[in-house]
Amino acid sequence: MESKKKLCKGCDKEQFIWKSHGRYKYCKSCWLRVKPKKPLVQIPLKSKRSAIRKKSSKMSALDTVYFKLRENFLYKYPLCGAALPKCTSQSTDVHHMKGRGKYYNDVTTWLSVCRTCHDWIETHPIEAKELGLSIKRN
């Protein structure tokens, strides 16, 4: 397919067209001279989107209740209930023995533990079940 020479807007000569800008056509040398700095058509900026919430409103309501229950629970049981080796004996965490799902705010499934014991329970789930520190969810 042969390219046809067309009239260049920059030099008004019959040239091979390098680029076109809107309805104007330019040869290579003219295009490099008059190259537009902004696009001819302004593209509208997208509106700012709000970030996805980190917690649902339902979970926020559950957390409000949980933190009050947790504070009372740790006050009532200040010593670690696991007492594993390297235990610090001061309870700082609440271990959810049946998991956090539907038992999230069920105090009967909680165990007050220190951070080292809680880490051990979470990293050794089979042994924790054998010791009675975790309970099957079913």
Please write the tens of the pLDDT for every residue from 46-89.
677 778 889 999 999 999 999 999 999 999 999 999 999 999 99
Give dist(CA 132, CA 66) in Å, integer: 23
Among 18-27, 37-46, 91-100, 121-130, whose mean pLDDT is lowest?
A: 37-46
Give dist(CA 114, CA 111) in Å, integer: 10
Evaluate if residue 118 carries a pLDDT over 70: yes
CA distances from 30 to 8, 40, 116 (A): 8, 17, 73
In this structure, are residues 102 and 81 in contact, taking their beta carbons and an 8 Å threshold?
A: no
Task: Give the pLDDT of residue 36.
Answer: 61
Who contacts 100 (Cβ-Cβ below 8 Å, separation ≥6)? Answer: none
Task: Give the pLDDT of residue 72.
Answer: 96
Mean residue pLDDT across the chain: 85
Q: Report pLDDT digits (tens) over 15-38.
A: 777 677 677 777 777 777 777 666
CA distances from 98 to 3, 24, 79, 95, 128 (A): 76, 73, 20, 9, 12
This prediction's pTM: 0.61
Task: Give the pLDDT of residue 37.
Answer: 63
